[in-house]
A and B are shown apart, each in its own frame.
Chain A
Amino acid sequence: MNDTAILHRYANPKAFSDLAASITPIAGIIALALFAIGLPWSLIIAPADYQQGDSARIMFVHVPAAWMSMFVYSCLAGCAIATLVWRHLLAEAALRAAAPLGAAFTAVALITGSLWGKPMWGAFWVWDARLTSVLVLFFIYLGIMAIFSALEESGKAGRAAAILTLVGAVNIPIVKFSVDWWSTLHQGSSVFRADGPKMAPEFLYPLLIMALAYMAVFFWMWLIRIRTEILVRRAASLEAAR
Chain B
Amino acid sequence: MNDFFAMGGYAAYVWPSYIIAVATIAGMAIQTVTAWRRAQERLQALEKDAAQPTSQP
> Which A residues contact B (CB, under 8 angstroms)?
39, 43-44, 48, 53-55, 57-58, 61-62, 65, 100-101, 104, 107-108, 111-112, 115-116, 118-119, 214, 217, 220-221, 224-225, 227-228, 231-232, 234-235, 238-239, 241-242
Q: Which residues of B contact A239 (CB under 8 A)?
A: 46
CA distance A111 to B42 in the complex (A): 36
Q: Which residues of A contact B50 (CB under 8 A)?
A: 238, 241-242
CA distance A44 to B5 in the complex (A): 11
Q: A112-B21, A214-B25, A224-B36 are in contact. List 11 more A-B contacts (CB 8 A).
A: A61-B21, A62-B21, A111-B17, A115-B17, A221-B28, A221-B29, A225-B32, A238-B46, A238-B50, A241-B50, A242-B50
29 pairs of residues in contact across A and B, judged by CB atoms under 8 Å: A53-B10, A54-B9, A54-B10, A54-B14, A55-B7, A55-B8, A55-B13, A55-B14, A57-B18, A58-B14, A61-B17, A61-B21, A65-B21, A101-B28, A104-B24, A108-B21, A108-B24, A112-B20, A116-B13, A119-B10, A217-B29, A224-B36, A231-B36, A231-B40, A231-B43, A234-B43, A238-B47, A238-B50, A241-B50
- Interface mask (B15-49 → A, CB under 8 Å = 1, otherwise 0): 01110111011001100110110011011001101
Contact check, A111 vs B47: say whether CB atoms are below 8 A apart. Answer: no
Q: Which residues of B contact A54 (CB under 8 A)?
A: 7-10, 14
Contact check, B4 vs A44: say whether CB atoms are below 8 A apart. Answer: yes
> Which B residues contact A (CB, under 8 angstroms)?
4, 7-10, 13-14, 16-18, 20-22, 24-25, 28-29, 32-33, 35-36, 39-40, 42-43, 46-47, 49-50
CA distance A112 to B39 in the complex (A): 33
Q: In whole Å, how far is A190's beta carbon from the nearest beta carbon of chain B?
A: 19
Q: In whole Å, how far is B14's beta carbon from the nearest beta carbon of chain A?
A: 5
Q: Which residue of B lies closest to A28 (CB)?
A: B29
Known: A48-B8, A65-B21, A217-B25. A57 touches B14 (CB 8 A): yes
Contact check, B10 vs A61: say whether CB atoms are below 8 A apart. Answer: no
Q: Which residues of A contact B24 (CB under 8 A)?
A: 104, 107-108
Q: Which residue of A lies closest to B3 (CB)?
A: A54
Known: A58-B14, A111-B20. A235 touches B43 (CB 8 A): yes
Contact check, B46 vs A235: say whether CB atoms are below 8 A apart. Answer: yes
Contact check, B18 vs A61: say whether CB atoms are below 8 A apart. Answer: yes
Q: In whole Å, how far is A24's beta carbon from the nearest beta carbon of chain B?
A: 10
Q: Which residue of A lies closest to B19 (CB)?
A: A61
Contact check, B39 vs A232: say whether CB atoms are below 8 A apart. Answer: yes
CA distance A104 to B28 in the complex (A): 8
CA distance A232 to B4 in the complex (A): 46
